[in-house]
Structure formats: structure tokens, C-alpha cells
Amino acid sequence: MASSVLGSTAGEPVVDIADVMQKMAEHKGCGTSSEGGKASCGSSAGPADMPPEIWEKVKNHPCYSEEAHHHYARMHVAVAPACNIQCNYCNRKYDCANESRPGVVSERLSPEQAARKVLAVASTIPQMTVLGIAGPGDPLANPRKTFETFRLISEVAPDIKLCLSTNGLALPDWVDEIAKYKVDHVTITINMVDPEVGQHIYPWVFWNHQRVEGIEASRILMERQLKGLEMLTERGILAKINSVMIPGVNDMHLVEVNKAVKARGAFLHNIMPLISAPEHGTVFGLNGQRGPSAQELKALQDACEGDMNMMRHCRQCRADAVGLLGEDRSAEFTTDKIMAMDVQYDAEGRKAYQEAVEAERQAKVAAKADEIAGLDAVGEISVLVAVATKGHGVINEHFGHAKEFQVYELSAKGAKFVGHRRVDLYCQGGFGEEDALDTITRAINDCHAVFVAKIGGCPRADLEKAGIEPVDRFAHEYIEASAIAWFKDYLANVASGAIVHVERGDAAIRQGAYSGGALLAG
Ligand code: CLF
Ligand code: SF4
């Protein structure tokens, strides 16, 4: 294959296409040498797991590195309202399901407002390292606003990584512009590589100034998506593929999608559950199309992992999300508030803070490595555990305050992050909410234990009755090291006959509109 220089300007590193394609082809996501086996991308990956130039791009991107998502935040600016296709899981009233959970964005921003917002957030949240444009429509159906936003931000805050999510229809037309603005991370939502499947997902696309319907719409979309992916790979731009798992429509087919995108150099594959409820007003919501269960989703992700590592920590964010992936701080940064803020962009202060985050991160990795010794003799037993955390890789959330639980799989290979479960808040105004406890139990029903910083007597008793052990003895300690320590005790108890190991059942993925974010009303 001939080498060429694309997307580089004088004085900048030259991208060797042959070299990049080779590395992409060899690469299985990242973190492949982690003790957790093929971890969700970057689970405990470090510079030794991948080429240095790729590590530089992913090390503090919370979506491209599972391990980084405990420590680094992202933000989205909602500058892109229009879309050029129709998905059956989307209602124009709601955020783009490519990157957004159902819910209206509070405000649409001009590029200038967006740039001010980025500075305001970067000044307040020094671990915010990535700015993404992800809707509420398609960023490349709004190219002027999208690239003007990137231009402004790259001028005022050059340390912030730029990220983009698209349905891919217009992607081939804009890849050079993407390279020009050094947008190093691009997500394409690819739900099919067969128009026969696609016709059940996409009723139409707007292409060459006209609306195209039926199977032809999906054929055009598929060809443009795959061409766009190849063009990104050729330029050394990291491409992540999002796929929405729609049981009975594309669930079996997503293994083929996985192979097709891997072959074209995709860096990471993120299979997300369809979130579909009648109140969303989508075609799928109204016709009763269900989403997958937690175990159906995990089984598909596991099946695809043989070909490529999988992202499992996606939160299906809003198009105006701000903060760590599991939190939403967008209400702190409305236009009114940021206009009133005294914004001081302190690049040095941000750098110092991020150096401290790196030290914390390395301490966590070291603690896990210490604890993992001796696990290789455990045999075939593996269990899931749920963890209440506010971030930093630590068990630091009370059971009653958790809006989600992170789920880890414990086995002879160690602790591996395999997903998260959104839940209703148990603690409401100082009282436990019994209905919420039911939804929590259903959401983590496949887990043997739940790790929390603190838990009250009532939920403790109810969880034990449901066969889920509440564990609070590791409060404020590192998640993975604590989970492995607990697992060793569990295995010792099984070996001694003190307890009998039993398989747990399936668990439910929350289907209703998320209620934790203050901006979702209306
Ligand atoms: Fe945003 Fe997407 Fe960039 Fe991340 S989100 S544009 S890659 S900065 Fe991340 Fe959110 Fe999942 Fe997207 S958790 S929905 S994968
Ligand atoms: Fe909706 Fe996004 Fe699909 Fe467009 S690409 S129809 S905004 S989900």
C-alpha cells in the first residue's frame, strides 16, 4: 500500500497511511494485555498496550478509554439541530439517539455561545478534556455551525480534544475538514451493513437534494458510512462505531457489522441498547419494539469481543451533557449562568490538576495489580458485582444516592468493567422509596453483591432477601482491588462449603426517560 501524507501541514508529524492501517488492523481496541483479558477498551490499558501516538489520543478521552472515564469528563455543545436522515428510534423532539439519551436539550447554542460555554466548563471542571458535538441532530448536516465551533474552541482552548458523532451520510464530504480542525475522534452510528436490515430502521434519507425512501435509502446510507470510515482510517483519525441493538431487527446482524467495521480499521465498537418507550413518540416506541435485557446486551458484546474490543461504559448522553459520563452537570452551565460567570481559562492550572489525576489513576492500577495475585487458581467461577461510585475509581457513593451502578465481572482474569445500570434514586427527601428499591433490585438482579460507601438497614435486608450481598467494608477504597479482595473471600467460602455458588438471573435495562438530569423537563 502506498504511503501518503493527508491532513498534515508543514512542521507537523507526518501520518504514514500504511503504518496506521497496519496498526489499526493489528489493534483489538485497547487494553488487550490487561489482566482482565480483553477488557472494554482501555480497561487498565497504559502506554505499553498500544502505539504511543494512539495512547496520546485515548489516554484522557472518557469514551475511548474505559479506565479514563472514571477520571476525565467530556462536554457536548448543542449547536447542530438539523438531521439528514430519519431513524425509527428518534423523535425530532428528542436528542439524537446516536449519542443522546431521550430528553430534550435545554438550549441550542450559536458557535460563539458554545465557545464561551466550553471555557466556562473548562475553568470549573479541570478534568474536562473533551468537547464533543453530538446533536441534537447530525453535526455534519449542520457543517457551518459545527466547524465554526471547532475553529473557535481550537483557538481559545487548544488543549481540549475535539470529538464528533455522526450518522455518516455526509461524512465522506467532510473528512478533510475534520482532519483540518484536528478532530481526532469521530463516532459513526452504524446499525447495519445490509439494506434489507436497514429498511426496518431507516424510513428515509435526504440525499442529493431529495428524499430517498425504502431499501435504497439504507443502501446509500450504508455505502456512505463505510466509505467515511475508510477515509477516517486512512487519515489516522480514530473512529468509534456506535450500534443500537434492536432485538428482532438487527441484534443477530450486529456481529456482521462488527466484522465489517473492524476490517475497515474502526478503533472501538459500542453496542448500545435500544431505549424505547411509548412516551418517547418514536416509531419503535409506539409500535412496542422492546429493547434488550442486560444479559442479552452483554451476550452480544461478548460475542463481538472475539473480533474487536467493545465499549461498555457508554451512557447514551444528551447532546448538551457536561461532566463525568455517569453524571450530568449541564444545569450548572445554562447560557444565563455562563454569561454571568467570571471565566478565567487557566491552562497551567488545568495541566497541574490533570497531573494529579494521573497520579491517582496510577495508584488505582497498582492497587489492582497487587490484589490480583493468586486469582489464577480460581477455576471457572465468575460473578457480577454492582458498585456505587461518584468517580475517581473509588467506592464513594451511598446506596440511597446512586443514580447508576457500575457492573464488574470477577473471574480468574481479575475485575473487568462490563457495564452500568441506571436506577431510580432510593433515597427521596431522607426516606427510602420502596418502589425505587424494586427497580434497583431488577437492574442489578444478575449481580451477587453491591458495593457501597454506606447503606441503611431496610435496603440492606431487602437486598439480602433478593440474594444480593450489600458490601460496605470497602468504603472509599479502589473499586477493582476491593472487588477482587471480596471475590477471593467469596471463593474461599465456596471452597470451604460455607456458601454454595449459584448463578444469578437476568437484569432489566431502564427503559423510561432518564429522570436524574435537571434539564430533562419539558
Ligand atoms: Fe461525546 Fe461521543 Fe465524543 Fe464521547 S459521548 S461525541 S465519543 S465525547 Fe461517549 Fe456519551 Fe456514549 Fe457518546 S458516553 S453517548 S460514546
Ligand atoms: Fe435522530 Fe440522530 Fe437518527 Fe438523525 S441520526 S434521525 S437526529 S437519531
Which pLDDT value is given to residue 97?
Answer: 53
* Residue with more model confidence, 226 or 429: 226
Atom of ligand 1 nearest to the CA of 99: 14
> Is the pLDDT at 451 greater than 50, yes or no?
yes
**Cβ of 86 less than 6 Å from ligand 2:** yes
Residue 14, in any domain of the structure: no
Averaged pLDDT, 286-297: 93
Residues 383 and 318 in one domain: no
Residue 355, in any domain of the structure: no
Residue 144, in any domain of the structure: yes
Q: Which residues, in sequence order, are CB contacts of 151 under 8 Å at separation 6+?
A: 111, 181
Residue 363, in any domain of the structure: no
Residues 325 and 391 in one domain: no
Cα 98 to middle of ligand 2, angstroms: 6
Residue range of the domain that includes 449:
376-426+434-496
Which pLDDT value is given to residue 45?
Answer: 56
Residue 23, in any domain of the structure: no
Residues 189 and 97 in one domain: yes
Return phi, psi of residue 350, to 5°: -65, -40
Residues 219 and 298 in one domain: yes
Residues 181 and 131 in one domain: yes
Residues 61 and 134 in one domain: yes
Q: Are 218 and 199 in contact (CB under 8 A)?
A: yes
Protein residue with its CA nearest to atom 4 in ligand 2? 83
Averaged pLDDT, 232-253: 96
**Could you read off the pLDDT of 410-419 as tens digits, one per residue?**
998 889 999 8
> Is the pLDDT at 444 greater than 70, yes or no?
yes
**Could you read off the pLDDT of 83-135 as tens digits, one per residue?**
999 999 988 665 555 555 433 466 789 999 999 999 999 999 999 999 999 98
Bridge partners of residue 10, in order along the sequence: none
Cα 167 to middle of ligand 1, angstroms: 13
Protein residue with its CA nearest to atom 4 in ligand 1? 63
Averaged pLDDT, 36-56: 60
User: Count of domains in the chain?
Assistant: 2
Domain's final residue, options 287, 320, 340? 340
Domain CATH number, residue 221 = 3.20.20.70
Mean pLDDT, the chain, as a whole number?
Answer: 84
Protein residue with its CA nearest to atom 5 in ligand 2? 167
**Cβ of 243 less than 6 Å from ligand 1:** no
Residue 138, in any domain of the structure: yes
Residues 286 and 140 in one domain: yes
Cis peptide before 126 (omega within 30 of 0): no
Cα 404 to middle of ligand 1, angstroms: 17
Averaged pLDDT, 291-314: 89
Cα 374 to middle of ligand 1, angstroms: 36
Range of lowest pLDDT (186-195, 281-290, 358-367): 358-367
> Is the pLDDT at 21 greater than 80, yes or no?
no
Burial classification of residue 494, based on how many CB atoms lie within 10 Å of its CB (0-12 exposed, 13-18 middle, 19 or more buried): middle
Q: Which residues, in sequence order, are CB contacts of 389 under 8 Å at separation 6+?
A: 70, 326, 395, 396, 397, 406, 479
Residue 119, in any domain of the structure: yes
Protein residue with its CA nearest to atom 10 in ligand 1? 317
**Cβ of 315 less than 6 Å from ligand 1:** yes
Residues 332 and 455 in one domain: no
Averaged pLDDT, 143-156: 95
Cα 251 to middle of ligand 1, angstroms: 21
Averaged pLDDT, 388-400: 93
Q: Which residues, in sequence order, are CB contacts of 210 under 8 Å at separation 6+?
A: none
Residue 37, in any domain of the structure: no
Domain CATH number, residue 419 = 3.30.420.130
> Is the pLDDT at 345 greater than 90, yes or no?
no
Residues 289 and 386 in one domain: no
CA distance linking residue 170 with residue 179, whole number of Å:
15
**Cβ of 270 less than 6 Å from ligand 1:** yes
Residues 335 and 410 in one domain: no
Which pLDDT value is given to residue 378?
Answer: 64
Task: Write 33-39 long-range contacts (CB < 8 A, 24+).
Answer: 34/414, 35/368, 35/369, 35/372, 35/413, 35/414, 36/413, 36/414, 36/415, 36/416, 37/413, 37/414, 37/416, 38/305, 38/309, 39/66, 39/309, 39/416, 39/417
Residues 318 and 408 in one domain: no
Burial classification of residue 269, based on how many CB atoms lie within 10 Å of its CB (0-12 exposed, 13-18 middle, 19 or more buried): buried
Report the share of the chain in percent with pLDDT over 90: 54
Residues 400 and 270 in one domain: no
**Cβ of 316 less than 6 Å from ligand 1:** yes
> Is the pLDDT at 226 greater than 60, yes or no?
yes
Range of lowest pLDDT (17-26, 258-267, 343-352): 17-26
